[in-house]
Structures are given as structure tokens and as C-alpha cells.
Structure 1
């Protein structure tokens, strides 16, 4: 059986390439709204951040997503993103031990 190619994406915080499943996508829609995109298929400009709380905190401190998506992002959104990343990392560690 032929081995499938794993899609890679670059984290906007660290600049490292990761498999797409190890990243979370943040999208900016045409009307300027910013939202989490867990499926990776929402329309709009996208930016990827690794599922590491330290990367999200670094992005929050330096407001990297504001610059990449060219919009102002609230602290509430960064908090939501941090909570989501912590939850996904905990799920990954919990289910990978089986």
C-alpha cells in the first residue's frame, strides 16, 4: 500500500514545520472577524500555532497574530486560544498513552 504524504504547515510563532494535525488554525474572515478553526477548512486567511501553551503565550505577549492577520485581536480571544490549546494537549497526552 502506498504511504500517504503528511501535510506540513509552519507555526507563525516558532517558524517550525509541523504536521497539520499538531497545529491549530486561526482564521480571519472577509468581514474581519477572527475565530478558531479546529477543522482547518474555514474560508479566510489562516495562521497556524503549535499545540503548545508556551507558543500561545509568546504569541499573546508579542501580539504576533495581530500582525500576521493584520487585525486587532482581543485578550479574550487569546485566552480562548490558550484554553483550547491546553485542552487539546491534555487530550492528546491522555489518548496517546493507551
Structure 2
């Protein structure tokens, strides 16, 4: 009997849902305080996951959950990049 590969789950900071890591986008704050969208999910730094949905991103923006999680003010550019990423993914599928 083949072992089923364990799917890594992460919690969306906006919706609180536990979802497979690949259905989420990671936002990272590096030690230097730089913020970026980490599409590989492997960059070092403090990370927070948000679901790949515009609704979740909007909730995160309104409630400033990423600010709290990453302990830094998250600029609009980051949210815009998240939305662009989600839209690109939707075009692919």
C-alpha cells in the first residue's frame, strides 16, 4: 500500500481556513524589513499566507491582518501584486 503524500496545510490569515499550501500565496518580511510576495514559498523571513482569492486579499487589506502578522505596515503595492497573481492563476486554469 502506497503511503499518501501528506499535503502541507497553511492557515489563511484573512479567512482562517486551513488550505493546501499551493492554494495560497505567501507574503514575507525579510530580516531587513523588506516585504515581498513569495511565490516559491521558500524565501527566508517571517511569512504569512493568504488564500488565492480576491475576496481573501480584500479581507486581509481591510482588516490589516498582514500588518499584524508581519508586524509592519503592508503597502498597497503588495495587495495589488497579490491580486495580479490571483488573476494570472485564474487565467491559466
Residue of structure 1 in register with 2:58 after alignment:
57
Q: CA deviation at 1:81?
A: 1.3
Structure 1 residues not aligned, in runs of 5+: none
The equivalences for 1:23-42 within 5 A come to 23-42=24-43
TM-score (norm 2): 0.91
TM-score (norm 1): 0.87
CA contact (8 A) 1:22 1:50 kept: yes
2:40 aligned counterpart, secondary structure: coil
Q: How many residues of Structure 1 are paired with residues of Structure 2 in the alignment?
A: 92
Tell me the distance in 1 between the aligned counterparts of 2:91 and 2:51.
14
Q: Which runs of 4 or more aligned residues in structure 1 lie more than 3 Å from their structure 2 counterparts after TM superposition?
A: none
Q: CA deviation at 1:89?
A: 2.9
Q: Superposition RMSD on alpha carbons, in Å? A: 1.1
Structure 2 residues not aligned, in runs of 5+: none
